Amino acid sequence: MSGNITFTIIKPGAVAHEHIGDILKMISEAGFWTAAMKYVKLSPGQASYFYDVHRGKPFFDGLVDFMTSGPILVAILERENAVEAYRKLIGNTDPAKAEPGTIRKLFAESIQRNAVHGSDSDINARKEADFFFSKSERFDRHGNFLELVP
């Protein structure tokens, strides 16, 4: 299964340690177009909703605390086979298990403070993109509004 977009977050730790530039460079060099991008600071309600699938797990409260601890950079990335290609670029959730050269291997501080989020499916990429960006805030490589399918 392939889709044309994925959604990413540069998490508070990586923002605070000024890794945004290095991470965006890796994203660009891997062939992704940044279709939308902005800074936001999540409320506890927004962070809980975003990670709803993990509610009740032992790491959930700590994750919400971390994700609301400072500004994050959110972005929509466009590329062929975007979801799978981006998960490969970021590496394993646990930086100890991530491949050398992946974003998480290079910039994660721990399994919780693991530098970036990447969508796990085309459906979730679309949901996450729609949660943060309106239709008039996303653009293709030619400067036209990005059409998301379906």
- Could you list the residues that contact ligand UDP (CB under 6 A)? 54, 59, 63, 93, 111-112, 114, 117, 120
Give CA angle at 51 (124, 115), nearest 5°.
90
Q: Which of 69, 27, 24, 21 is nearest to 44 (CA)?
A: 69
Q: Which is nearer to ligand UDP, 38 or 97 (CB)?
A: 97
Q: Which is nearer to ligand UDP, 9 or 146 (CB)?
A: 9
Q: How far is the CB of 60 from Mg ion (least distance, A)?
A: 13
Contact yes or no for 76/5 (Cβ under 8 A): yes
Helix, strand, coil shares of the chain, percent, nearest 5, are 45, 15, 40
Q: How far is the CB of 56 from ligand UDP (least distance, A)?
A: 13
Q: Which is nearer to ligand UDP, 63 or 74 (CB)?
A: 63
Question: What are the residue numbers of the active site?
Answer: 117
